[in-house]
Structure 1
């Protein structure tokens, strides 16, 4: 089976780094940052910045660049691995499953994070958008993974914490597994059409190995 994993909110808790970089971007633009930024984790940056910057494309691009500058320097290190993830990944590898990461985080930011993970070598491929792309469509990245691995939809799963992950899975007719320890909610994942929900990494492993 091909297991495609989201990164933020699924493998790692990246709230600290993402929130700090968003605040930095607003500071550089002289714009007050929203008090609540947790919901910024998951959606494409441009999508989140747009309504707060009057949909001004120039300002949006400036904000994204400020975000990326800080993330590239320090933000990529500001995360923790969720307890139980490493053991679960090990079980999947031992069972012979192929693993890859499909993330909305730009490839150049996700790559050093995965390389630094103690289990990073378990993932044979990484799919992430180019930083200049206005989109980070999970559906197209999942489609690319299916083609690269020569995998059938029925033998592939997408695992993530937000509806974007499940939406991408549904678009490709693969099973979407929602995780409840990330930044989404049970309601969000159920409404998106999740095949199953996992309460913790051990539970996820049981579902995938069943």
Structure 2
């Protein structure tokens, strides 16, 4: 069995680093700066898509992304916290023969730095993310790329994440998905996107993975 994990909102809580870096970029552009709690919707979607929506599709989007990365690469990626129970979960899955991968819309290099910093890289066979030119920022493209590189059967794999993009990307590539509710997507968002199951705490996640959730129904009623 193979498990693909989202990073932001699934393995770690990146709110402080992401929202402060968005605020930094907006300030540098002379734009109004929302409160951090009004920017949490930026956690999960591809960065360029978030800034496109935030800036109304203006020609400043690419510069906003550059400014965001300027701060995030130096400070923001470390303004982060591993969710309680995640290291124990990953160790349990690894010891039970589950091959683990990271599948994040975040830049691959940033994802690796974060996972190295928190000593989580050792659990994963590989860490996949987007490129500087925004290739593979869309989860559909990213998971397709992972399948091309790793050549595993999607029916033997599951995608775990906190936003609809994770479920949509999984479904487009023939994978089942598990939605986790401790991140930044709502329960309804995840159910509407077609997750096979909702899980409320990291300590409850091993069982549905080990039960080969790829064979579960694609939709579930809200608990």
TM-score band by shorter chain is over 0.9
Give the aligned partner of residue 70 of structure 1.
71
1:32-111 equivalences in 2 (<5 Å): 32-35=32-35, 36-57=38-59, 59-111=60-112
Distance in 2 (alpha carbons) for counterparts of 1:87 and 1:53: 40
Distance in 2 (alpha carbons) for counterparts of 1:54 and 1:174: 33
What SS does structure 1 have at the residue aligned with 2:142?
Answer: helix
Give the aligned partner of residue 123 of structure 1.
124
The answer to whether the Cα contact below 8 Å between 1:15 and 1:41 also exists between their aligned partners in 2 is: yes
Instruction: Give CA deviations for 1:40-98 in whole Å, capped at 9, x if unaligned.
Output: 101112212224434223x1111110000001111111100001111110110000111
Instruction: Give CA deviations for 1:23-49 in whole Å, capped at 9, x if unaligned.
Output: 000010110123311111011122122
Give the aligned partner of residue 200 of structure 1.
201
Instruction: Give CA deviations for 1:82-128 in whole Å, capped at 9, x if unaligned.
Output: 01111110110000111110001011211101112223211111111
The answer to whether the Cα contact below 8 Å between 1:4 and 1:158 also exists between their aligned partners in 2 is: yes
What SS does structure 2 have at the residue aligned with 1:105?
Answer: strand
Distance in 1 (alpha carbons) for counterparts of 2:120 and 2:62: 34
Give the aligned partner of residue 150 of structure 2.
149
Deviation for aligned residue 1:141: 1.5
Distance in 1 (alpha carbons) for counterparts of 2:141 and 2:54: 27
Distance in 2 (alpha carbons) for counterparts of 1:145 and 1:64: 25
Give the aligned partner of residue 167 of structure 2.
166
What SS does structure 2 have at the residue aligned with 1:136?
Answer: coil
Deviation for aligned residue 1:134: 6.9
Deviation for aligned residue 1:172: 0.8
My pick for the range that moved more, 7-16 or 128-137, is 128-137
Question: 4+ residue runs of structure 1 moved beyond 6 angstroms?
Answer: none
Give the aligned partner of residue 4 of structure 2.
4
Give the aligned partner of residue 175 of structure 1.
176
Q: 1:142 to 1:134 in 2, by over 3 A?
A: closer
Distance in 1 (alpha carbons) for counterparts of 2:62 and 2:149: 31
Distance in 1 (alpha carbons) for counterparts of 2:50 and 2:98: 35
Distance in 1 (alpha carbons) for counterparts of 2:17 and 2:198: 26
Gaps of 5+ in 1: none
Distance in 1 (alpha carbons) for counterparts of 2:145 and 2:46: 19
My pick for the range that moved more, 2-11 or 114-123, is 114-123
The alignment of Structure 1 onto Structure 2 pairs a total of residues equal to 209
What SS does structure 2 have at the residue aligned with 1:115?
Answer: helix
